[in-house]
Amino acid sequence: MLSAPMQQQVNIGLIGGGTVGGGVYKALQANGALMASRLGIKISVTKVVVREIKKSRPVHIPAALLTTDFHALIHDPEIHIIVELIGGTTTARSVVEAALKAGKPVVTANKALISKHGETLFALAKANKTNLYYEASVAGGIPIIKVLRESLIGNRVVRLYGIVNGTCNYILTRMKAEGAEFMDVLADAQRLGYAEAEPSLDVDGHDAAHKTGILASLAHGFWINPQDIYVEGIRHIGKLDIQFATQLGYTIKLLGIVKCLPSLKKSKGPRQAIQVSVYPALLPKDHVMANVSGVYNAVLVRGDIVGDTLYYGRGAGQDATASSVLSDLADAALDLKCSSRDRVPAFVDHEKNGKVLSTGELVTRYYLRLGVSDRPGTLASIATILARLNIGISSVIQPEGHEGATVPLILMIHDASNASMQKALKQIEKLPVVKGAPVLIRVEDFE
């Protein structure tokens, strides 16, 4: 592994000069001297890889630092740390793998890369006696990776709840405040730059799933296959659901959820069952997570010793992400200075027997909204289907003031498995009195 030079200066190569890369460069210019005074090490940007040298950028980077050749940067002996900030899982993967094979520490903000290829990349880092740092990959400026990896090292994480996608949180916040429909708020969010022109990654839950999978892997010591995560977005949430949730004492949020459940029996001993899910949920309106608004993120971690702890802040943006990258650069520089490859291992094997709960096994309470014909026997026919599947109804609301052939019917459902509820919905949808697709939202009480 490379050692820091005698003059206590570490040279870094930035790969990516866009919003995040420019933010890191700007932050180092502003606070580099402060970091050097605290670390005893100067962190210097030696080269910045970009696609087009003459392109206009949000942050000015001197032309003398710019290059288009990431291979030369990685193999330059004068560059000690590689910072990957280009995103994606193709070129970014090639960059990170090449740097790790060269024995150089890598800092990345790439949640998709870590989620999809993290297990391979960390094995590669270990094999080449170097390290991979990824604080900025989850929740922007919130130091949640360091919290799970170091601060809560003496705890088993029994629950983790994350509002980790600012776009969805912004949309749901405005829907509640304005009584607006999803598509109207999405269109305005796109106009304002809070949502992408192609918003599927965010509003369908995939971005949150990347981040939740990383947190689950770190919390439980084995890599979570992204395909094992149950993912549901917010497209089906309507203003009626926001309205009725409020009347019932709830707020709707898109949650990433990691739960440690009772062990499963198997021939060679117990397996730890882990729920890893992303879906919109009704949260009690007086709970702190229900009051995380706008583009902000929050992660609640429950340790078996410490209890509940909460981490809140900006989950994206140039400065928030740059702050986390600088934190990783400080760790990487100190590791080089002290010749320490890995002070606290990123992942351990203590729970490799763990199993991610299948989609059908998920058990929660539910909010169910149906459009039904307003005539006698409607509720009885629906209740009969639920009863046959041993699903209990805790309360029913049939609000007044809705006229026409179809009126809303809201049922709050006791704990039931996802498999049972999906089976019930298929039967309920076939009833002549039910019009349109049911809306099913889970309820989370943080118990």
**For residues 215 and 161, what is the distance between their CA atoms, to the nearest angstrom?**
10
Residue 33 falls inside a structural domain: yes
- My answer on whether 165 and 302 are in the same domain is yes
Token digits for 191? 């106009």
Same domain, 332 and 405: no
Torsion of CA 144, 150, 156, 158, to 10 degrees: 0
Q: Tell me the CATH number at 306.
A: 3.30.360.10
In this structure, is residue 153 part of a structural domain?
yes
pLDDT tens, position by position, 217-242 = 989 888 888 999 999 999 999 999 99
Question: Do residue 228 and residue 85 come from a single domain?
Answer: no
Tokens representing residue 242 in the block: 């926001």
Residue 267's pLDDT is: 44
In a domain, 352, yes or no: no
Confidence of residue 1 (pLDDT cuts 50, 70, 90): very low
Please give the mean pLDDT across all residues of the chain.
90
- Residue 275's domain comprises 145-314
pLDDT band, very low/low/confident/very high, at 4 (cuts 50, 70, 90)? very low
Mean pLDDT check: name the lowest of 26-35, 64-73, 320-329, 347-356.
Answer: 347-356
* Distance (Å, whole) CA 317 – CA 130: 29
Number of domains in the chain: 3
d(CA 22, CA 445): 41
305 with 196, same domain: the answer is yes
In whole angstroms, give the CA distance from residue 127 to residue 113. 19
Cα-trace Rg, the chain: 24
Q: Do 288 and 415 belong to one domain?
A: no
Looking at the fold, whether 122 and 161 belong to one and the same domain comes out as no
Residue 2: pLDDT band (50, 70, 90) is: very low
The DSSP H or E segment spanning 308 is strand 307-314
pLDDT bracket for residue 195 (50, 70, 90): confident
User: Nearest Cα to 253, choosing from 218, 297, 206, 196?
Assistant: 297
* Beta carbons of 115 and 213 less than 8 angstroms apart: yes
Residues 266 and 167 in one domain: yes
| 149 and 297 in a common domain | yes
- Do 332 and 372 belong together in one domain? no
Catalytic residue among 111, 211, 253, 259, which?
A: 211
For residue 7, count CB atoms less than 10 angstroms from its CB and return exposed for 0-12, middle for 13-18, buried for 19 or more: exposed
Residue 35 within any structural domain of the chain: yes
What is the per-residue pLDDT for 7?
Answer: 46
pLDDT digits (tens, 9 = 90+) for 261-279: 865 455 455 567 889 999 9
What six digits make up the tokens of 400?
């007044």
pLDDT of residue 5: 43
Reply yes or no on whether 435 is catalytic: no
- Give pLDDT, residue 342: 66
Are 134 and 178 in the same domain? no
Distance CA 409, CA 155 (A): 44
The CATH number covering residue 42 comes to 3.40.50.720
pTM over 0.85: yes
Higher model confidence: residue 342 or residue 161? 161
Q: Residue 345 falls within a domain, yes or no?
A: no
The mean per-residue pLDDT over the stretch 401-421 comes to 86
Look up the CATH number of the domain holding residue 365.
Answer: 3.30.70.260
Q: Give CA–CA dist 360/419, Å, rounded.
A: 4
Q: Tell the residue number behind the tokens 């959820």, with chain if given.
A: 257
pLDDT digits (tens, 9 = 90+) for 138-171: 988 899 999 998 899 899 999 999 999 999 999 9
Share of the chain above pLDDT 90, in %: 71
Q: How many residues does the chain have?
A: 447
pLDDT(327) > 60: yes
Is 324 among the domain residues? yes
Asked if the structure places residue 349 within a domain, the reply is no
Single residue among 283, 314, 345 that ends a domain in this structure:
314
Residue 396 forms part of a structural domain: yes
Are residues 403 and 264 part of one domain?
A: no
- Asked if residues 324 and 109 have their Cβ atoms less than 8 Å apart, the reply is yes
Residues 35 and 82 in one domain: yes
Residue 340 has pLDDT above 50, yes or no: yes
CA distances from 281 to 11, 241, 250, 365, 443 (A): 46, 11, 9, 10, 5
